[in-house]
Amino acid sequence: MKTKFFLSLFVFTSLLLTSCSSDDGESTGTSTGNYWPMAVNNSWIFDNNGVNEETKILGTNTFSGKTYYRLNDVYTSGVYVKNWVAKKGATYFQRVDDVNVNEQGVSIYFKSYEIPIFRDDLNVSQQWTGTVKTKITYTYNGQSTSPSSKIEYTGTVLEKNASVTLNGNTYNDVIKVRLTVKVVIDTQITTTTSEYWFANEVGPIREYTNDSGDISEQTLISYTLY
């Protein structure tokens, strides 16, 4: 699957750099709705520049005692990347699995990371921010190095209780958010900005991403919930 929805691709394809574990210091809040229904076989079909792409929940796994819902594997940089979503309080997280990539004789190991992509309890203009510890290891000719690295994120609620029409379908109680992710590895900085729309009792309905000038947009065509 080449579905581009959410964090796994805009981190991996733009950077080929990072991995991290979640920053658990931030409060997850008290939920105000169900803006990403999570159940096995839930499916969302998106229009991506005229091509239909599916985001589907394939199954579940447990991490640190919490149930995560596995999405389609993402094929990028020559490997399939496993990724999951979970809701904790009012906060929706995405987790990406460990990945090993070989590039021109260099073995690159990315440790699993998790980041909050959305909160449903904040008011317009309120933000969630944080820094996630990261780890990446390069190995070449038997020698390994792990440069200093981190991910900084800032999410902002742009609009709440919106009504929008996409591909002929109208969605009510929509929350629009912007998420900016800055990855710092030594002195190299890469920034990705995305705008996500979530509809209550529907899930994700739109993504717009600016990845260092590479623009992508997906809009929901149809969905199936169980």
pTM, full prediction: 0.86
Structural domains counted in the chain: 1
Residue 86: C-alpha distances to residues 90, 128, 172, 178 (Å): 11, 17, 23, 19
Within-domain flag for 94: yes
Confirm whether 59 is domain-assigned: yes
> What's the full length of the chain, in residues?
226
Q: Which domain holds residue 158?
A: 7-224
Look at residue 64 in the predicted model and tell me its pLDDT: 92
Q: What is the pLDDT of residue 77?
A: 63
Per the domain annotation, does 1 fall within a domain?
no
Domain for residue 50, yes or no?
A: yes
Which of 141, 153, 208, 212 is CA-nearest to residue 183?
Answer: 153
**CB contact at 8 A, 113 and 21:** yes
Q: What is the pLDDT of residue 222?
A: 97
Per-residue confidence of the chain (226 residues) as pLDDT tens digits? 333 444 443 344 333 333 334 444 457 999 999 999 999 999 999 999 899 999 999 999 999 999 999 999 877 667 788 999 999 999 999 998 988 888 788 888 888 889 999 999 999 999 999 998 888 888 999 899 988 888 899 999 999 999 999 999 999 999 999 999 888 888 888 888 999 999 999 999 999 987 767 788 999 999 999 9
Helices (H), 16-132: none
In a domain, 66, yes or no: yes
- Which region, left, alpha or beta, applies to residue 17 given φ > 0 means left and ψ of -120 to 50 means alpha? alpha
Nearest to 113 by CA among 1, 7, 5: 7
CATH of the domain at 183: 2.40.360
Identify the pLDDT of residue 76.
66
In a domain, 2, yes or no: no
Model pLDDT, residue 26: 58
Q: Determine contact, residues 70/60, Cβ cutoff 8 Å.
A: yes
